[in-house]
Amino acid sequence: MEERYDVVIIGAGPAGLTAAIYASRANLEVLIIEAAVNGGKLSKTYEIENYPGYQSISGIELADRLTKHGQKFGAKLISGEVRKIEGEKEKTVTLADGRVFSAKAVIVATGTKERMLDLPRADEFTGRGISYCAVCDGFFYRNKEVVIIGGGNSALEEALYLASLASKVTIVVRRDVFRADAKVVDQVKANEKIEIITKHVPDALCIEEERICGLQIRDVETGETRVVPCKGIFPYIGADACTDFVDQKILDDHNYIITNNDMSTAIEGIYAAGDCIQKDLRQVVTACNDGAIAANSVIKYLKEQ
């Protein structure tokens, strides 16, 4: 028999957990479903310096605090991957393992997933030479050379973390400028263990005895190639919305969810929040903002039913 709730929140990142706090404090029956790790990408972030109230806090600690707070007022948290949302007034949420839950409203807060490195054999070496989480795998590269691909905040923040472990960190950037915050850029440029190579893109993996031994990169202007020796590669080349299970009619051309100011969508009873929605700024603080608005909108919606 399927379990029934007032609202099902899909995703236990900052947006989903904040929504859970507001909804459960309003005495709603709340279920949170998380497919991966509680806290979302926070759990993969070494240090956060732009979340109000904390001059500096590790991503893991903030994720833990938000998770506990999200459950404090009675919200139930389970692990599972959502496959589909169906129904008109009453929503049915079906998981990959066959479990089914029903709710009067749904908040989608699934965030984004990292884009994979598009090179031959990259999939084969994911987890054994290619990693998408410096906090998770940095220890395996102590006193070794590593390469980071990308010029945004995530790439540079992880470069600083890896510099505390690796013997050398090389950052490969397509452009000659960074998209990261000025303070992070200054910290990277001041770190003697970090080398920056601009106007280059990854071209091929260098493999020796079935192990990563380097990354071939290509100059975007001249086309010339060179090899950067390394044992590990950390790509931070953008992300895509985790919305595979969402009805296409509420998605934009890039599969981000289109919401109104109150986080409602074109489908009655379905709301969205956080990095998976169509917006310009994707930060922890804006995700929390979205979650609070979405929960408040659900509270109002349910009162009108």
* Six token digits for residue 52: 């109000």
Given a contact cutoff of 8 angstroms between Cβ atoms, the answer to whether 145 and 165 are in contact is: no
In sequence order, the 6+-apart residues with CB closer than 8 A to the CB of 190 are: none
Catalytic residue (choose from 6, 64, 97, 137) = 137
Q: Which residues pair with 9 in a beta bridge?
A: 32, 107
Query: Distances from the Cα of 219 to the Cαs of 120, 139, 160, 201, in angstroms?
Result: 19, 31, 24, 7
* Six token digits for residue 100: 């089914």
Residue 206 is among the residues annotated as catalytic for this protein: no
CA distance 166 to 141: 6
* Six token digits for residue 54: 């904390």
Residue 247 is among the residues annotated as catalytic for this protein: no
CA distance 271 to 259: 7
Catalytic residue (choose from 6, 118, 123, 133) = 133
* Six token digits for residue 198: 């601009």
The secondary element (H helix, E strand) that includes residue 230 is: none
Q: How many CA atoms lie within 13 A of 206 on its CB side?
A: 16
Residue 244 is among the residues annotated as catalytic for this protein: no
CA distance 242 to 293: 20
Catalytic residue (choose from 118, 136, 176, 252) = 136
Known catalytic residues are 133, 136-137
